[in-house]
């Protein structure tokens, strides 16, 4: 459970948006689902996040226990980030934002978005969400095993 203190309101939407409602937080979560897990991976995204903003958002996500990290034993300068269970449980939000965007925004979408959308549009929502979460957990487990670590989520 994420402990909240000094929130402006007792409204769950307001409080959730204080944690997730900036331009970058859900992009980082999305990137983690895409198996991007290092600072360099996040920096190379098409949105061009600045390093100081990325550092701030990673700290915020850690503070709220949505992500964790471990130091790569082969290169102590590299942190490998991963989603905690609370972070993984954000996927339905990401799924619904993608579907809403494709249905309501007239724009050029990135090729990866178009491909994902076409692959998943006619599948039941619950199936897409459960498959994506399962696939991410498999990725996370392999990430930990390759480092000889136990999952601490």
User: What pLDDT, in 10s, does the model give residues 61-105?
Assistant: 999 999 999 998 888 899 999 999 999 999 999 999 999 999 999
Please count the CA atoms within 13 angstroms of the CA of 20 that sit on its side-chain side.
21
Given a contact cutoff of 8 angstroms between Cβ atoms, the answer to whether 97 and 20 are in contact is no
Does the residue 41 lie in any domain? yes
Q: Which CATH number do you get for residue 87?
A: 1.10.10.10
Looking up tokens 């000889």 gives 148
Looking up tokens 């034993």 gives 73
Domains identified in the chain, total number: 1
Does the residue 7 lie in any domain? no
Does the residue 33 lie in any domain? yes
pTM higher than 0.85? yes
Boundaries of domain holding 116? 12-146
User: What pLDDT, in 10s, does the model give residues 23-56?
Assistant: 899 999 999 999 999 999 999 998 999 999 999 9
Does the residue 88 lie in any domain? yes
């Amino acid at each position: 459970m994420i402990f909240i203190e000094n929130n402006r309101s007792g409204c769950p939407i307001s409080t959730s948006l204080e944690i997730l409602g900036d331009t970058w937080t859900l992009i980082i979560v999305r990137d983690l689902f895409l198996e991007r897990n290092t600072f360099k991976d996040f920096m190379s995204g098409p949105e061009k996040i600045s390093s100081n903003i990325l550092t701030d958002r990673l700290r915020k996500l850690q503070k709220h226990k949505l992500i964790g990290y471990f130091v790569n034993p082969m290169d102590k300068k590299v942190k490998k980030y991963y989603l905690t269970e609370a972070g993984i449980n954000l996927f339905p939000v990401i799924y619904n934002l993608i579907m809403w965007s494709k249905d309501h925004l007239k724009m050029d979408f990135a090729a990866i978005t178009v491909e994902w959308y076409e692959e998943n549009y006619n599948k039941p929502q619950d199936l897409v969400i459960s498959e994506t979460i399962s696939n991410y957990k498999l990725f996370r487990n392999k990430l930990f095993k390759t480092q000889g670590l136990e999952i601490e989520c």
